[in-house]
Amino acid sequence: MVDRVRHPGVRRTPERVHTGDCPMGSRGRPVTAQNVRELLLTASGVMACPLCRPDSELGLLDT
């Protein structure tokens, strides 16, 4: 799941990636596991949620 991190007064904000059952990802849109991998590995400003840790779930921290 991908959502926008909202900050008052800031127009462009980074995206945050969540697992499907994360309570912090309620405003996001569903994406595939491959999309999440690509976002976390290549996109600038995209962060993994520190609560649900989708990067760990996908094994990205093991490489």
H or E stretch covering 37: helix 33-42
Residues 48 and 17: beta-carbon distance below 8 Å:
yes
What pLDDT was estimated at residue 34? 92
Q: What pLDDT, on the 0 to 100 scale, is given for residue 48?
A: 92
pTM summary value: 0.72
pLDDT of residue 39: 87
- Taking only the tens place, the pLDDT of each residue in 7-54 is 566 555 568 888 888 888 777 788 889 988 998 998 888 889 999 999
The whole-angstrom separation of Cα 13 and Cα 45 is: 8
Which residue reads 């596991």 in tokens?
Answer: 33
**pLDDT attached to residue 62:** 62
